[in-house]
Amino acid sequence: MTSTASVEAAAAAAHPDAEILVVTPGFNVRKRLLDTTDDDFDKVIDLNLKGTYRLRRAFGAAMATRGKGSIVTFARFCALVVEPGRGLYAAAKAGVVQLTKAMATELGSHGVRVNAIVPGPFETALTAQIKADTE
């Protein structure tokens, strides 16, 4: 969700008593950091980090008002371990982990749980192709 207006519209359209938000952003530009552009940076950060922030802010405020809720975001292992060509993605996912900690401390006293899941790699058709491209 790359605009505040679209996120606010989604939050308004959601069930007014929604208690669970699951955020699964994922966009990467596979380039060495020295080869990335400002546009690459903006796209990766805007979707992965700012989009997560916008969704959590919109839904988290309503949950805090009601005194209950759970926000779960998938951050990916790149938040902790950087691979070649994933520098921007890793930075965005590390930011998601830190925003999770901050929001958990702010919303916890209002009955809202905020967590991040950081899954490791697993074999898929996409990862098999990426592996083949890098060998």
**Catalytic option among 58, 88, 89, 92:** 89
CA 62, CA 131: separation in Å to the nearest integer? Answer: 42
71-110: string of b/e by CB count within 10 Å (b at 16+)?
bebbbbebbeebeebbbbbbbbbbbbbebbeebeeebeee
CA 129, CA 119: separation in Å to the nearest integer? Answer: 19
CA 114, CA 73: separation in Å to the nearest integer? Answer: 8
Is 89 among the catalytic positions? yes
The catalytic site residues sit at 89
